[in-house]
Chain A
């Protein structure tokens, strides 16, 4: 079977379309709201406030010290982890539905199905960019700066690829099994607590009642990403070589998963939607 009518398209040649989808997502997200864009800051900051009260004030979790030697600040410690989590969770939650909401379009004109998915990932990133900016600004004010900030860049490249591959695979699978998005929202809740966001990995006992808890949490790819990011901006210690290998490996797995699902199911969405 050959068909040339779809033309040769690469992610790069589709950038215009991806960007269009991203703009559409951003536009519709805050359409008709009074605060508009401000919501993309208000929501995470209130989450931050609530978690700080619950975990630092009530449960008295002790944060590790800052990279510049000052005593730790739980809010900042949490913020550094929560930013990564927000991008991840928002990316999955909105991305997984992006093919269904674009469905009508895919039935009538052809374009690669990853375009709306990547568009929604970009929209989520754009929203969180403000958050990251606020975090870094606070760090700078507190004098907690180092060359390790530069490592955020390669980290971000890996993280975005990891997220995109995963989201695309889930979005396509969700067209075939519509229950997936509901299952995923439950999984995400569990994953939040299985990732060192409100605690650091060292708080976790090696084993608890025979369950190798720390090993389980450590095996979670998000643990790697959150810890590496926190190393760069909070502890100011560069992530080790093994960490980079692990990040790259997880990214490769996620992208591979995305490509595989795309090849198997993503090319015939026109008749499944």
Chain B
């Protein structure tokens, strides 16, 4: 643990799991439901105890180990039991069955304002919290300046914490939790309430704790952060453990399932009230044109070749226009317009500009527009359709169709995804710094992605850049 190079184990693969810092074995936890709780004697007398046994299984037979010095994330849907698991790790709750074993001093930041007493000032709360964490008064006095410095909330440190803003709660809580030198740090999804500057500071600090060999367990719905910060991830689903493994892999599996579920739900919904939907599309959006040809529907066809309500970034996608023409026409150009929710026109492909014209016969027909890799970033888009000939408009529907695009894994910012490969160019090697950077970054772990990272909100690897 003293050697930062050694503690930084490259991946969560089984071979390297030597010394577990946290072991969770077959842990279950049920809660008595709030609605059935007998808080007062009167309720107990009146309604008796018999119905008071309604329980909710928040965790069911969860097992995993976290090796010393690694960072793990818990991911899963709302209510899947992530916070409950963290509370068990922090000792706030006890499991109904199973073992939770940890070695080392644990510091936990479970909720906003965790461990604060509203009436006391920030400074008094530091003393109280330090005492809860087992620090003596002398140790606290030594640490208090660092804590106040880190929190950086100015004169509010001597105001009652009930007057704090959410971010100030976070700042003070985080400052206390990390400056007491925990061996195990537990953080529930809260860093998100900090401002940009403080978030960067938090992540920088977490990285430095990691290098010192602190085991970190966090919950985050920001999967990009999970992929980037964590060696491993634990996927909880309705209180059961779905999978544990390398963060990247688990995040991908999780996202795949989320996407699959969304597609399934959306197509069920579409199947249920399809007639309504088309009628609405006809009536409400702004529609123009002389009407010799009308677009009747726009379908999104996924890579698998089936009509899907959701398309995936980077996958093959086909946009299928259905039209109905009153008479045969020549020289017709079909067009699509993609708009973000804020009204930015991202793309506007059309069948004109030198391409052979699409012949249109009287009656119904379809036209396909296919892309090999969808470059739209995940998000929702309004899609406009147009049928024109030279400068005459037959039909135009302004954003009459909704397209949902989802990513298969971690996000890149921006409206469009650029697909390409990165490769190393010539570089001058400084003998010494290359040595340390090699020991910090084990080869083969994340070879290509690094240069694309500056876009994520925290400058992670600056230490050895």
Contacts and interface: CB of A to CB of B under 8 A. Distances in A.
Interface of A: 1-7, 13, 16-17, 19-21, 24, 27-28, 31, 102, 104-111, 177-179, 267-268, 270-271
A110 B131 contact: no
A1 B101 contact: no
B42 A109 contact: no
A28 B115 CA distance: 18
A20 B128 contact: yes
Contacts of B117: 24, 102, 104-105
B219 to A, nearest CB: 14
Given A16-B131, A24-B120, A102-B117, A110 B92 contact: yes
Nearest to B40: A179
B110 A268 contact: no
Given A105-B117, A108-B111, A5 B91 contact: yes
Given A2-B101, A5-B91, A20-B131, A108 B41 contact: no
B110 A4 contact: no
Contacts of B40: 177-179
Contact of B93 (A28, A105, A268): A268
A110 B119 contact: no
A24 B100 contact: no
A19 B127 CA distance: 11
A4 B183 CA distance: 14
B14 interface: no
Contact of B98 (A1, A7, A19, A109): A1
A2 B98 CA distance: 7
A102 B120 CA distance: 12
Given A20-B127, A109-B110, A5 B102 contact: yes
A24 B136 CA distance: 16
B341 to A, nearest CB: 37
18 contacts: A2-B100, A6-B91, A16-B135, A16-B136, A16-B137, A24-B128, A104-B116, A104-B118, A108-B92, A108-B110, A108-B115, A109-B115, A110-B90, A110-B91, A177-B41, A178-B40, A179-B42, A268-B94
B101 A4 contact: yes
Interface string B433-457: 0000000000000000000000000
A182 to B, nearest CB: 10
A28 B92 CA distance: 26
A177 B96 CA distance: 22
A30 to B, nearest CB: 13
Contacts of A7: 91, 134
Contacts of A17: 131-132
Contacts of A108: 92, 108, 110-111, 113-115
A75 to B, nearest CB: 37
A4 B27 CA distance: 13
A109 to B, nearest CB: 4
B3 interface: no
B105 to A, nearest CB: 8
Contacts of B128: 20-21, 24
B103 interface: yes
